[in-house]
Amino acid sequence: MDIFKITGPVRLEGEITVGGSKNSALPIIAASLLTAGKSTLRGIPNLSDIAVMCKLLEDMGCKTVADNGDIAIDATTIYKPIGDYEIVRKMRASICILGPLLARCGKVEVSMPGGCAIGYRPVDIHLRGLQELGAKIELRNGYICATANGGLKGANIFLGGAFGSSVLATANVLCAATLARGKTVIEYASCEPEITDLANCLVKMGAKITGIGSPQLIINGVKELKPVEHTVIPDRIEAGTFMAAAAITKGNLKIKNCRTDHLMAVINKLRSINIAVEETQDGCEVCSSGNIEPTDITTLPYPGFPTDLQAQFMAVLCLAKGNSIITEKIFPDRFMHVAELSRMAANLRKEGPHIIISGVEKLIAAPVMASDLRASAALVVAALAAHGETIVNRVYHIDRGYEKIEEKLNAVGAKIQRQSV
Ligand code: EPZ
């Protein structure tokens, strides 16, 4: 079990490069199941979640070879279209094999994802969307068992839920519809850049999709798809995490391989709290005077402010000159980091889906516990500015979504040690 020892406060300065997007790579790796043959995916980050997804595919009979950011996937043989509990319990995103396998094999069993630290996460929208395409679905011994005898059939599907669109439900239904007979219209589809990347990849495989990037996706089913070579988009959440790190440390970071067009809500928020953001050829430069203004943030589906940056920006606003309010509209209980930031002398108060943040002069180092991927990123961001040595426990959470984060941050002035305990 690794921990981080982080000494602060530091000032970050220099160039830092963003890796490929985890949340784009996962559904795209699953989409390779839609066709026989060998696909090559590039720019894939070296993360434990990616390794879990590859294990899932290998368990079914596929072959995967990872090499320096490329993954070759041969999905010719699928002798067991099953997502085993022992693998799915490690990563909820395993659910995105459901649509591709149903469309390709006409049957699939996937362990139902269980509880999650960020809150209640049902999969009803996934199941509803696939049932509208003609799938028969039942739950057996904790497994979602879906069949489509005679194949799937196109339909008009409303995919909205209580919290708006669903990213991975859109991915599942979009993939399934590519091989369904006839036309499918998905209303209230997720417009996240990761879904656009998936749709662009599917089009390269021969799928017929229009409305990409909009809440209405139109798919005309085809008989078969072909293998693909595709480079995934940069990780906007990793980029946003580095922006928060620059903001909280009075830093100056040149963030490379960053798509600023995917981060407009975040850049707008940074500028509103007195953080300078200059767009550059391959990214942006973030410069902080340390005089952070307070603000209100409400998380929303894309292009709104991403919930996956809520925790990191809460850490930044802990040092703002005044009171801020964060409202979490996607995962109303996604506040595991609040108690840990309070241990670092932050002044935080919870009121329903809101956190009231009263800015403090400084954060104080303390031993803290990571609980989920983005909460742990927020603790690292806070520790960079905190006075003293912070111990972040359960670093495995951060390794799920950030490739060698301590090396990247140390290269621009952080003092992070990884230790096994
Ligand atoms: C994706 O999860 C991301 N994961 C999450 O990132 C991200 O937080 C989330 O989208 C929102 O942006 C991946 O891409 C692998 P949703 P997903 O379905 O698709 C409710 C990270 O840190 N809902 O868009 O599972 C749900 O409970 C991870 O990298 C239903 O009610 O999220 C939530 O309140 C964490 N029924 C809301 O919709 C459903 O069937 C949005 O969830 C599905 C979702």
User: Of 62, 96, 105, 116, which is the active-site residue?
Assistant: 116
Distances (CA, A) of 301 to 166, 219, 362: 9, 22, 32
In sequence order, what are the residues at sequence separation of 6 or more whose Cβ sits closer than 8 angstroms to the Cβ of residue 268? none
What 3-state class would DSSP assign to 11?
Answer: coil
In short, whether 162's Cβ falls inside 6 Å of ligand 1 is: yes
Of 301, 305, 241, 302, the residue nearest 272 (C-alpha)? 305
The number of helices, as runs of H, and strands, as runs of E, in the chain is 14, 24
Residues in the chain: 421
User: Treating both helix axes as pointing N-terminal to C-terminal, what angle do 124-132 and 98-105 enclose, rounded to 10 degrees?
Assistant: 20
The pLDDT value given to residue 116 = 84
For residue 124, which atom of ligand 1 is closest to its CA?
A: 40
Distances (CA, A) of 84 to 26, 148, 190: 17, 20, 27
Per-residue three-class SS string for 186-230: EECCCCCHHHHHHHHHHHHCCCEEECCCCCCEEEECCCCCCCCEE
- Residue 243 has a CB neighbour count (10 Å cut-off) of 29
The pLDDT value given to residue 271 = 98
CA 197 to CA 128: how far, in whole Å? 24
The mean per-residue pLDDT over the stretch 398-419 comes to 98
In short, whether 26's Cβ falls inside 6 Å of ligand 1 is: yes
Cβ burial, residue 245 (10 Å; 0-12/13-18/19+): buried
For residue 237, which atom of ligand 1 is closest to its CA?
A: 29
CA 342 to CA 83: how far, in whole Å? 39
CB 123 within 8 A of CB 130: no
For residue 162, which atom of ligand 1 is closest to its CA?
A: 31
Query: How do residues 30-48 score in pLDDT, each as one tens digit?
Result: 999 999 999 999 999 999 9
Reply yes or no on whether the pLDDT at 117 is more than 90: no
Task: Determine the distance separating the centroid of ligand 1 and the alpha carbon of 167, expressed in angstroms.
Answer: 6
Residue 218 pairs with which residues in a beta bridge? 185, 210
Mean pLDDT of the chain: 97
CA 26 to CA 1: how far, in whole Å? 25
The pLDDT value given to residue 1 = 86
The mean per-residue pLDDT over the stretch 259-271 comes to 98
Task: Determine the distance separating the centroid of ligand 1 and the alpha carbon of 194, expressed in angstroms.
Answer: 12
Structure tokens at 327: 């409202």
Query: How do residues 81-98 score in pLDDT, each as one tens digit?
Result: 999 999 999 999 999 999
Cβ burial, residue 120 (10 Å; 0-12/13-18/19+): exposed
The pLDDT value given to residue 181 = 98
The mean per-residue pLDDT over the stretch 71-78 comes to 98
In short, whether 23's Cβ falls inside 6 Å of ligand 1 is: yes
Query: How do residues 196-247 score in pLDDT, each as one tens digit?
Result: 999 999 999 999 999 999 999 999 999 999 999 999 999 999 999 999 999 9
For residue 128, which atom of ligand 1 is closest to its CA?
A: 40
In short, whether 373's Cβ falls inside 6 Å of ligand 1 is: yes
Query: How do residues 300-332 score in pLDDT, each as one tens digit?
Result: 999 999 999 999 999 999 999 999 999 999 999
In short, whether 307's Cβ falls inside 6 Å of ligand 1 is: yes
Overall pTM surpassing 0.85 (yes/no)? yes
The pLDDT value given to residue 355 = 98
Task: Determine the distance separating the centroid of ligand 1 and the alpha carbon of 168, expressed in angstroms.
Answer: 7
- Predicted confidence band at 295 (pLDDT cuts at 50, 70, 90)? very high
Percent of the chain whose predicted confidence (pLDDT) is above 90: 98
Mutate to test the pocket of ligand 1, among 167, 172, 400 (most ligand atoms within 8 A of CB): 167
Active site residue 318: no
Of 140, 136, 51, the residue nearest 94 (C-alpha)? 51
Q: Dihedral (C-alpha) 89, 238, 45, 400: value to the nearest 10 degrees?
A: -20
* DSSP per residue, 81-146: -EE-HHHHTT-GGGGGGHHHHHHHHSEEEEEPP---TT-----HHHHHHHHHTT-EEEEETTEEEE
